[in-house]
Structure 1
Amino acid sequence: MFRPFVAASCFDDPPSFLYSPRVRVFPKVAVAFLFRFILSFLGGIFTTLTMSIGMVALTFGALFWVYGRDLPSHESLAQYTPPTISRIYSGQGRLIDEFATERRLFAPANTIPDLVKQAFISAEDKNFYTHEGYDLRGIAAAAVDAVKSGGRDVRGASTITQQVMKNFLLSGDRRAERKIKEIILAARIEKALDKEKILELYMNEIFLGQNSYGVAAASQTYFNKTLSELAPHEAAFLASLPKAPSDYHPVRRKDRLLSRRNFVLREMNENGYITDAAYEIEVAEPLRSVQNGDFESFKEELPPRDYFTDEIRRQLSENFGEGEFFTGGLTVRATIDNEMQPVAAEALRIQLEQYDRGVGVWRGTGKKIPLDQLGSEENWRAALDALRVPRDITLENKWYPAVVLEVGSQDARIGIEGVDEVDGGHWIPAKDAQWARKRLADGKLADRAQVAGDLVEQGDVVLVRKMTTDDDGSFIRWTLRQVPEVQGAFVAMDVNTGRVISMQGGFSYQDSVFNRATQANRQPGSSFKPFVYAAALDSGYSPATIVVDAPIEIDTPQGVWRPRNSSNKFYGPTPLRTGIEQSRNLMTIRLAQEVGMDVVGSYAERFGVYDDLSPVLANALGSQETTLYQMAAAYAMFANGGERVQPTLVDRVQDRYGRTVYQHDERICNDCKLADLAAGLAPRVISNRERVMDPITAYQLTSMMKGVVDRGTAAGAINLPVPIAGKTGTTNDAKDVWFIGFSSNIVAGCYIGFDTPRSLGRSAYGAGMCGPVFQRFMSQAIKKYGGGPFSVPDGCVFINIDRFTGARLSDGASGKNVVSECFREGEEPIFGITFDGGFAMGADLPLVEDVARAPARQVTTSTGRKAVVGPKASFGTLSSGGLY
């Protein structure tokens, strides 16, 4: 039975042990049996291994098939544009602000120095340039460590390519499912992109702490350097952070970060990126950073965020979308003038503080530091630093937050943020508190303070500034300050282009980010009257046209409305010029009635003051709300001869690739494309703007508004070396005061009022409060931008008239009552016609007492009825108008 097997399995030379006497079988049969056994055993092992390998391969294949089906497209990374910072530059090219959800400066691979790349490769993935996206040995080692520690020690084994996949396309969890997907995508991306592109994605995407994403932003954050300026130990510093930025803080975890940095340097040395000598030098370097105070922060070069740049943020977020603005890497060229913006801020702040100190009520900051933190300088400085109080105020000198450490019998000792303590300490003397009264818990005001303790208590957080001499700026003492309760706004722009050169939306941006120049809707009061007069001048009236200034009564659903002049006087038949110069309310209402409020409304809407002006007569006196920004832009159209102005805070916007996506000035300039121009020639700019007003009307109105400044309601407040035109405005009960004026090239406007409108007081007028703000700013603006006579349009014929009566005078007439008025060529003016708007004075409506004592006259209205009016106007009377 064994023959076939034995015959088939005989050895030519069987092993010697088979001939041993102990073996009781035939040699060939034994050999065959043993060989069969061995083959069966090995076959079983082989089959088991083969099936196991097949099963493992099948399992992995199935896993990779299952998890690889619905993965994100790795091909999208080839077109990936990471979120980057949008930056705002001034007209002079200075960086003034930046906005981002993730603070990232994109650095293409070819701009990242090899040293920086080598540091990150040494720290994160030394085989980056040789593997195919994943490192099996690293994964196996991590798995072994995890098993040994029972899952407590779970470390990453991800290559840089895998980290790119995790950061861009996957979640950051540590589940096996995510790791499988990560490996699949890493293998795919290695075939789609070259190593440098993958490294570029990684080094621009990673978070490196301190709100810095990517190596370029981190280099600026930690060292205030560009990537090309980094030393090896600084590159190793950055390469230490991706592992866990919060665990390697350069101040709180300095020792741990130093150890990690030195490890990276050692890896760089072992990988041949730095020499042994360089390693010894670099590892000996101390750990330096901006956070540790070793370098000046890049933020020191940025001015504090203010109303101007925040308004750019608000407008561009509306135009481009908030997402694109904060992540699109836009480069914005702002219109702001770096020299004039501080002038505007100070001009407004001076006036607001002057009013606030005149009211004399102490409010402080409303913040306190617990008494138990005042004993240690380190504690109170930390507590003070953590408080949100304004730190962006400079008025005469910089304002500092401070805390009251001690209150003496007369003076109070303070600790000042950013100012070192001195022997004896810093003190607020008693005399510095004597301007104010403190509001008590019951809402009543205490008596005027006599000592510092009457205003402040221990632990109070206050604002202080240095009081210095005018002569040489030497220190006198520290003085208490506070943010005024009254607020306001100021804006200035180029009359020809609408470029806003200065804008201040309140006393302090850090105290209140609400921009009162663009967001506060306020009643413009008499500053709206020029639009009524513009409608009249375009409707055939002239500056010499006579309008009756007499009492009016109007039936309204709320009862009889009896508007009045600010002076409580009536002046009888008066030329239009005088009506605007002296801000006569009754003349304005009659004029609006004659022209028609629908016509007035169309003018206001055409100039952009309102979207829809309600056609009620009270709106002729500025009762409908608008913004200072819109009013200033409208006045610019008066100044430039009646051409459309689109106000803007931005000259140009470029995308991340440098392409212009917005440009404000769309005028035609063919000469600007020439390589050069002949000496003495300037480029010729062709205006293609819409005309919103006849140029003669614009000049007539400008001339009349120049009279407001020369001899009208603003005469005592404005005194500048170039011709200025403008208009004051004061609303009912002086809840808002305005002045908007312009030279031949700059328009500037101001309003002041409480955020919740209430009276500023009987003595508050536009000329007295906003006039000085305009004066301070324009005195500096004229030095820089100049100014000159207002341009006279073609078609003007000048005739002398009497500004008191509107009568025509001879060409040689002179005197204070003579004014040379522009009339349209070919339209012979008719003098002596009187308009009253169709109103007649009620028989039972008494004149005010001041007028009753003066000689009165009876006049016939356009309806044939009789009315009694007062004497001729007194041009020494101040009348700023308002909503009466």
Structure 2
Amino acid sequence: MKSTERWFAMAGVVLMSMVAIAGFAIAIYAAWLFHDLPDGNEIVDYRPPTSTRLFAWDGTLIGEFAQERRIFIPYNRIPERVSRAFLAAEDRNFFNHSGVDVGGLSRAMVKNVINFVQGRRLEGGSTITQQVAKNVLLSNERTIGRKLKEFILARRLETSLTKEQILELYLNDIYLGYRSNGIGTAAYNYFGKSVDQLTLAETAYLAALPKGPHNYHPIRRKDQAIARRNWILGEMVSVGWVTNAEAEAAMREDLVVQSAPQRAKYRDADFFVSEVERRSKALFGEDIYSAGYYMKTTLDPKLQTAARIALMDGLELYDRRHGWRGAWGNIGSINEGWQQEAAAVEAKLPERRRAPFERPDWQVAVVERAGGSIRLAEAPAGENHGNLRGSDVAWAQGGAGLKAGDLIYVARDATGAYALKQVPAVNGALVAVDPWTGRVVAMVGGYSFSLSKFNRATQAKRQPGSAIKPFIYATALEGDFTPASIVVDGPITFKGGNGEAWSPKNYSRTYYGPQTLRKGLELSRNAMTVRLADKVGMKTVAAKVVQYGAVDSMEPYLSNALGSTETTPYQLTAAYSAFVNGGRRIKPHLIELVQDYQGKVIYRADQRKCPAGCTRAFDGTESPRLMPEGQQVMDPIVAYQINSFLQGVVQRGTAARASALGIPLGGKTGTTNEYRSAWFVGFTPDLVAGVFVGFDDNRSLGESETGGSAALPIFIDFMAAATKNKPVKDFRKPKDAVYVSIRGHEEAFRPGTEPKPIERTPDVVDGPKPYTEVWRDGLTGQPSNQPTPQEQPKKKKYVDEIEEEVLY
């Protein structure tokens, strides 16, 4: 008996020891498991990473910056039908339980026994609160420990947040496939709609996706997707959230989605968006990828599209002038399945030689015969034969030629024939700026963003050539010169400190003697410009050109008066705005306004302060006046003088082709040594646009490829589209200027600088003047094509004759 009692006692001790050890082990496990368990209160301020969205001036979505593509939608903006669809699919008792649905969990456990036997995926039975806890605070590992943490955190969340806040987090955080995080992005990626535009059927399909987006892919597993969608519609009927009629109508709908997610349907602004991203990172750092900013940009989509088309067409036109360079591949004989062989050859091409994304009408074709017969790679059988245009066959034969098996790009024209296409080797840029505000309304940084991401509008520093001359003349006019001043256009030689001589030459290699400043700028006289810069002083000129904003820095060398200092199209175009807006240097910008996810303005480009009275109610008196934007860097009358000269460039000078537009227009061509860069910067009263054309390796564009032949046509095409159906406006004239006719042109003068009438007595006859008085600058050479001093005609004997100023 005692032995039996002893054994029972020993068994009891062992059992108690085991219970103690087990309890101790459980305590240790629990301590280890929960030592780093997050506090549910942490989620109160949690916000999932959200896309920064970019909008054009008119509200068009043009791009996104994101780590995870997500559009955050506040709960009060989520349609009730959308939230109910997800509740029907995931947690219909959401508003009744306290974080864990015991009944739902029990049903899931029973069902999992069957799923286990049948080899199906086990169900978790998690509530929406548990899913939020797991997605936000925990990992996705499938362990008992993680599930225990999930239960505890779900209870904590229910005490920290309201049901509405938890559901808001869930609907904005859940991954729904198609690169979509949250219902806002999913609605846009799948259906191209906002959530408030979704149909009942589309809403039910999105609610099917949390169970596994891959399992219900709308294209690859369409039948399963429709079945799951219809099941959810049935659940919504059973709860009473939709009627039978509504559900049945939705079940009859087909499931139609976009073929692929798109960041933005508008795709002409890739260069612009890329530049905004670079500048946004400088302002806000990496937050632009997660903070959900709203960015209003300066882009005008209509002008941007016109700019892209004009630049691409212009570069292709230049490229065509320089000949066919040959096919991009050859497959020899044309056998069955040649399309796959052609695709393999194209895939190996350098990116810069492939068909650009921006030319969706280009097709791959193979040459059957050198005479122009072709086959198309993507046309249906029986419709894949065609012929090249006769002019294109002749163009190709004049270059590298065509032969059977050649792989080429073609585009069908209105007649049904096919145009031969090649990707231009040349490149360029176009920038358009509002001269009054600095808004960059259009920017194209190259022929194709899909072929090269390098932005030549903002990143390519090139010599502007004669496009810099307006700033040289402006500097002179701000000094002692006036529109009546005369400068000699004649040969001139300068000797440097090393003894080397430099003689600037006009493009035409001819000289025209004494000329007004207007004539010198209209006809872009190099010798005259250098003589003028020398007279003003290059140190003064260099300082002024930098002050005007045309370049960042300029050495005081006379050659820089002809544009040998580098600048960007973006910078030079903005600087021309001063000739339109009355001499103000505006700050070009791409980002107009930035708001955070709560709508608070955190950045505004317009930094002007509103004077007193801005906050008062309207009382019938004059509204407060804001100062114009920009810094005054040029006398307004001088700005108009250059404006008028540049209008003459279009009317009579190197850009006369642009006069066909029939609108008030000014501008200046620019061509650098050896035709390496071609420019045209021009303006209307409301818009300044600059065009640059050049090779990326800075090689020559070819003989006679000047700003007038390579860049000006692009400007004309763009400006024709930009001004179409818009009222014609004249340039603003400064009110305090004095206007005098000089050689048939109305010129503006600063008060006190205008020429004065000279009264002469009828009996006094002017005769020839001494040579040293006529050539007051001490020139030692006689200008070519000019009469000698003895041949100078006598001035007429008239009273009130207008005398031109000193002959420089």
Same fold (TM over 0.5): yes
| Structure 1 position 730, deviation (Å) | 0.8
The 3 A distance-change label for structure 1 pair 716 and 71 is same
Shift of the 58–800 alpha-carbon distance from structure 1 to 2, 3 Å rule, reads same
Counterpart of 1:820 in structure 2 is 746
Query: Does structure 1 retain, via aligned residues, the 8 Å contact 2:116–2:122?
Result: no
Cα distance in structure 1, aligned partners of 2:192 and 2:348? 24
Q: 2:556 aligns with which of 611, 615, 629?
A: 615
* 2:799 is equivalent to residue 866 of structure 1: no
Deviations along 1:659-679, one digit per CA (max 9) or x if unpaired, are 223333445677987877979
* Stretch deviating more after TM superposition (603-612 or 773-782): 773-782
Q: CA deviation at 1:732?
A: 0.5
User: Is 1:777 the equivalent of 2:718?
Assistant: yes
Q: How far has the Cα of 1:285 moved from its partner?
A: 4.1
Q: Find 1:414's aligned residue among 359, 375, 397.
A: 375
Distance 2:574 2:581 in 1: 11
Q: Find the aligned partners of 1:250 and 1:303 in 2 and give their Cα distance.
A: 25
1:302 aligns with 2:302: no
- Contact residue 89 and residue 96 of structure 1 kept, 8 A: yes
1:580 shift after superposition: 1.7
Q: Does 1:540 align with 2:480?
A: yes
- SS in structure 2 at match of 1:476: coil
What corresponds to 2:278 in structure 1? 314
Rounded Cα–Cα distance in structure 1 between residues aligned with 2:446 and 2:690: 13
- Decide whether the 8 Å contact of 1:524 with 1:730 is kept in 2: yes
Is 1:481 equivalent to 2:421 in the alignment?
A: yes
Who is 1:402 aligned against?
A: 363
Q: Who is 1:726 aligned against?
A: 667
Residues 819-844 of structure 1, C-alpha deviations (whole Å, 9 max, x = no match): 33333223466999xxxxxxxxxxxx
1:82 maps onto 2:53 in alignment: no
Provide closer, same or farther for how the CA distance between residues 331 and 826 of structure 1 changes in structure 2, counting only shifts above 3 A. same
Residue 408 of structure 1, CA deviation: 4.2
Task: Establish whether residue 254 from structure 1 lines up as the match of residue 222 from structure 2.
Answer: yes
**Could you list the per-position Cα deviations for residues 412-458 of structure 1 after superposition, in whole angstroms to 9, with x for gaps in the alignment?**
343365xx6374434133625424348xxxxxxx8564xxxx16736
Specify the alignment match of 1:185 in structure 2.
153
Change (3 A) 1:486 1:72: same
Q: 1:424-573 alignment to 2 at 5 Å? A: 424-429=383-388, 431=390, 433-437=392-396, 449=401, 454=402, 457=405, 460=407, 462=409, 464-468=410-414, 475-548=415-488, 549-555=490-496, 559-573=500-514
CA positional deviation for 1:765? 1.8
| Aligned residue type for 1:427 | G
Q: Distance in 2 between matches of 1:291 and 1:507?
A: 28
Q: Does 1:356 align with 2:292?
A: no
Counterpart residue number, 1:223? 191
CA distance in 2, matches of 1:191, 1:456: 76
Give the letter aligned to residue 440 of structure 2: V
Distance 1:685 1:183, change over 3 A: same
> Where does structure 1 lack aligned partners over 5 or more consecutive residues?
1-32, 439-445, 469-474, 802-816, 833-856, 874-884
**C-alpha spacing 1:415/1:80, structure 2 compared with 1 (3 Å):** farther
**Partner of 1:764: helix, strand, or coil?**
coil
* 1:95 pairs with 2:61: yes
Instruction: State the partner residue of 2:790.
Output: none
SS of equivalent to 2:214:
helix
1:586 aligned residue (527, 530, 537): 527
How far 1:214 moved relative to its partner? Answer: 0.7
Matching of residue 290 in structure 1 with residue 257 in structure 2: yes
| Identity over aligned pairs, percent | 38
Equivalent residues of 1:384, 1:401 under 8 A apart: no
Q: CA deviation at 1:629?
A: 1.3
Deviation at 1:363, TM superposition (A): 4.7
Please say if residues 83 and 102 of structure 1, whose CA atoms lie closer than 8 Å, have aligned partners that are also in contact: yes
| Partner SS state of residue 867, structure 1 | coil
1:559 CA displacement: 4.6
SS of residue matched to 2:660: coil
Contact 2:268 2:308 in 1 (8 A): no
Amino acid across the alignment from 2:291 = G
Cα pair 1:726 1:740 within 8 Å, conserved: yes
Q: Per the alignment, do residues 347 and 265 of structure 1 end up closer, same or farther by CA in structure 2, a change over 3 Å counting?
A: closer
Map Cα deviations across residues 363-387 of structure 1 (whole Å, 9 max, x no partner). Answer: 556698997883689x999999999
Q: Which amino acid aligns with 1:241?
A: L
- How many angstroms apart in 1 are the aligned matches of 2:786 and 2:442? 42
Q: Count the aligned residue pairs.
A: 768
Q: Matches of residues 646-725 of structure 1 in structure 2 within 5 Å?
A: 646-667=587-608, 685-687=626-628, 689-725=630-666
Amino acid at match of 2:137: L
* Other structure's SS at 1:509 match: coil
Amino acid at match of 1:82: P
Report the equivalent of 1:281: 248
Structure 2: tracts of 5 or more residues without a match: 759-770, 788-808
Instruction: Note if contact 1:552-1:586 (Cα within 8 Å) is conserved in structure 2.
Output: no
Amino acid at match of 1:65: A
CA contact (8 A) 2:522 2:654 kept: yes
Decide whether the 8 Å contact of 1:142 with 1:156 is kept in 2: no
Contact map agreement 1:360 1:435 (CA 8 A) in 2: no
- Secondary structure, counterpart of 1:602 in structure 2: helix
- Paired with 2:259 and 2:172, the residues of 1 have a C-alpha distance of 25
The corresponding residue for 1:338 is 301
Amino acid at match of 1:428: N
Instruction: Give 1:780 deviation, angstroms.
Output: 4.2
CA contact (8 A) 2:173 2:181 kept: yes
- Counterpart-to-counterpart distance in 1, 2:654 and 2:196: 62
- Deviation at 1:690? 2.2
Kindly state the Cα deviation for residue 350 of structure 1 after the two structures are TM-superposed: 3.1
Q: What is the TM-score with the length of structure 1 in the denominator? A: 0.75
When residues 583 and 145 of structure 1 are mapped into structure 2, their CA distance, relative to the original with a 3 A threshold, is same
Letter in 1 for 2:467: S
Task: Tell me which amino acid in the other structure corresponds to 2:69.
Answer: R
C-alpha distance in structure 2 between counterparts of 1:55 and 1:281, whole Å: 61
* Residue range with higher mean Cα deviation, 756-765 or 256-265: 256-265
Give the superposition deviation at 1:483: 2.7
Quote the Cα distance in structure 2 between the aligned partners of 1:447 and 1:385. 25
The residue number in structure 1 matching 2:702 is 761
1:168 counterpart SS class: helix
Aligned match of 2:578: 637
Cα gap change, 1:190 to 1:716, in 2 (>3 Å): closer
Residue 848 (structure 1) aligns with: none
- Residue aligning to 1:13: none
Measure the CA separation in 1 of the matches of 2:83 and 2:25: 38
Give secondary structure in 2 for the equivalent of 1:87. Answer: strand
Cα distance in structure 1, aligned partners of 2:502 and 2:28: 87
State the alpha-carbon separation in 1 of the partners of residues 558 and 552 from structure 2: 17
Alignment check: 8 A CA contact 1:390 1:508 kept: no
Instruction: Indicate if the aligned counterparts of 1:369 and 1:380 stay in contact, CA closer than 8 A.
Output: no
Asked if the contact 1:369–1:383 (Cα under 8 Å) also holds between the matched residues in 2, the reply is: no
The CA deviation at 1:522 is: 1.3
2:287 matched to which residue of 1? 324
Residue in 2 that maps onto 1:790 = 731
* 1: CA distance, partners of 2:263 / 2:548: 40
Question: Using a 3 Å threshold, how does the CA distance of structure 1 residues 488 and 56 change in structure 2: closer, same or farther?
Answer: same
Deviation readout 1:269-304 (Å, 9 max, x if unpaired): 67x3568957983795466131579xxx87785345
8 Å contact 1:102–1:327 — kept in the other structure?
Answer: yes
Residue number in structure 2 paired with 1:19: none
Q: RMSD between aligned alpha carbons?
A: 4.5
State the distance in 1 between where 2:84 and 2:17 align.
Answer: 44
Per the TM alignment, residue 496 of structure 1 is displaced from its structure 2 partner at its CA by 1.3
Question: Which letter does structure 1 place at the counterpart of 2:783?
Answer: V
